[in-house]
Chains A and B, each alone.
Chain A
Amino acid sequence: MAALASGALFGIGLAMSGMTDPRRVLGFLDLFGDFDPTLLFVLGGAVMTTVVLFRFVLRRGSPVLASTFHLSNLRHIDRRLLGGAAIFGVGWGIAGYCPGPALAGLGIGSREALWFVPAMIIGMLLHRIVNRS
């Protein structure tokens, strides 16, 4: 139930902030053209909130409904991290979708999301195949 509520709040936040419209996202990414700074407030609002509130949450010994926090222990910045982030950024810059807004688009039956999301899952599958061999 907690995860459902969190997901719902996340989806409303995405839709409200305009992230669900890739035209706005590309307008934000178009730094050297018709730059639209609105989405800076989305990232700013989200990160300010987590920077402040995560401190209080992580000060607790454990979460309310589970025994431990599941956090990544990875610290190092390596080629895998930066290479993956670089590839993700290219994909984001092509169509203007990152995973969350694309999924929210499924909820309204967006034609673009219906192509993008399965392709994204194929990309994840390809990564598993490449990593296995």
Chain B
Amino acid sequence: MTAWLIALAGGVLIGLAATLLLWLNGRVAGVSGIVNGVIFPKREDTAWRAAFLIGLIAAGGLYMALVPGAALPRTDYSRAGLIVAGILVGFGTRMGNGCTSGHGVCGLGRLSLRSLGAVLTFMATAIMTTFVLRHLWTAT
């Protein structure tokens, strides 16, 4: 299979996973919100969130470990860069109530204008950041 076809199939699986959670549990598959709900539990809603995360971590890890040619994570990025990026992602997804999955996959699936606003914004700043770090920063 060609790369774009595998990517498309992976995307459809992500969409099916989100549909399954909404259809059966009535919940939005927004990963940042689910993590937040497990770390800072409020009500009785911790069990399904923990189950979702266990499934994601275990199955994602197993796929990468077992399937030849799977996209393995990079290993050599600077520790400081990872920490700064992680803090911004954690803070930003809480302030904006969602990430690529919640606003992107689920919000756009509901044709939410609010989510479209969020998606266009984070795509724009992510593209700008990549541009600065790859083409301006290194050039100096």
Measuring CB to CB, which residues of chain A are less than 8 angstroms from any residue of chain B? 1-24, 26, 29-33, 37-39, 41-51, 53-54, 57-58, 60, 62-72, 74-77, 80-113, 115-128
A120's partner among B89, B103, B106 (CB-CB below 8 A) is B89
B interface, CB within 8 angstroms of A:
3-29, 31-32, 35-36, 39-40, 47-49, 51-65, 67, 70-75, 77, 79, 81-97, 99-101, 103-106, 108-114, 117-119, 121-131, 133-135
- On whether the beta carbons of A115 and B83 are closer than 8 Å, the reply is yes
Whose C-beta in chain A lies nearest to the C-beta of B11? A45
Contact B12 A99 (CB under 8 A): no
A89 adjacent to B83 (CB under 8 Å):
no
A43 to B10, CA, bound (A): 9
A23 to chain B, nearest CB (A): 5
Main SS class of interface, B:
helix
Give the CA-CA distance A59 to B82 in the complex, in Å: 42
A85 to B119, CA, bound (A): 7
A13 to B19, CA, bound (A): 13
Chain A to chain B: the 3 pairs with minimum beta-carbon distance, closest first: A107-B61, A123-B90, A84-B96
Given the known A-B contacts A75-B113, A94-B129, are A5 and B20 also in contact in the complex, defined by CB atoms under 8 Å? yes
In the assembly, what is the distance between CA of A72 and CA of B77, in Å? 36
Contact of A80 with B52 in the complex, beta carbons under 8 Å: no
Measured between beta carbons, the chain B residues less than 8 angstroms from A26 are 130, 134
Chain A residues with CB under 8 A of B20: 2, 5-6, 9
Q: Knowing A84-B96, A108-B65, say if A103 contacts B56 (CB, 8 Å).
A: yes
- Asked if A16 contacts B89 (CB within 8 A), the reply is no
Query: Which residue of B has the minimal Cβ distance to A114?
Result: B82
